[in-house]
Every structure is written in C-alpha cells, then in structure tokens.
Amino acid sequence: MMPYERLKAWEACHALWIAIFKATLSWPASERYGITAQIKRAALSPGANIAEGVAKRGPRDCARHVNIAIGSLAEVAYLLRAARDVGIINKDQHDYLLSIQQPAGRLTMLFYKGLRATLS
C-alpha cells in the first residue's frame, strides 16, 4: 500500500473520480472534448495531487499540493452544477455526485488544516 492510500481524504477523492468517470460514460458524445473532459480532469486531480504531495519532502510542499486538490474539488462542484443547468445530468444525478464530492472536500480540507497546523 502506498502512503497516500492510508489517507481518508485520498480515499474520498478516489471514490469521486470513479463516480465521475462512470457517470460521464453516458454523457453526450458532443461534449466528449468539452465539459466531459474537463470534469474528468478536475475529478482526477485531487487524488493525484494528494498522492504527489505525500511523496514530497515535508508538510509545506504537501500542503501546497493539497491546496491545489481543494481547488479542483471546487471545480468539480461547479462543473456538476453547469452540467445540471444545461441538462446533461438531471437533479438526482447531480445530487448523487455532489454527495460524493462534498465529503471529499471536507476530508481534504481537514487534511490541509492539519498540515498547516504543523507549519505554525
């Protein structure tokens, strides 16, 4: 097991990536290079940044990568809203995916705050 795999924040981000990947399989082909590609990149980024941050030397570098992960999680939330608002997904799909995004965001923020506390 890699060190990042022990983190609840990474687990939640990875679960989000899987849910987004599966959901986008049914999205319109016309959006393959638009919102579909964007949300897949945004959903993959948090877990990847946490993994990269944990591999870095020290909490300062790790916190920087986790901060980027937080931004990507916010991007996913917006892209889900955008997809809902133009009819790519319905309210139930939006709410389901958001229910996975929100705990990932909370856990990642807690991880970030813990890292920042070690720097004070």
Instruction: Give me the pLDDT at residue 116, please.
Output: 93
Architecture of domain 3-25+32-119: Up-down Bundle (1.20)
Residue 47 has pLDDT above 90, yes or no: yes
What's the mean pLDDT in 96-106?
Answer: 98
pLDDT band at 78 (very low <50, low <70, confident <90, very high): very high
- C-alpha span between 31 and 28 (Å, rounded): 6
Instruction: Give me the pLDDT at residue 4, please.
Output: 95
Domain boundary assignment for the chain: 3-25+32-119
Q: Is 101 helix (H, G, I), strand (E, B) or coil?
A: helix
The C-alpha angle with vertex 15 and arms to 19 and 95, in degrees rounded to 5, equals: 50
Mean pLDDT of the chain, nearest integer: 96
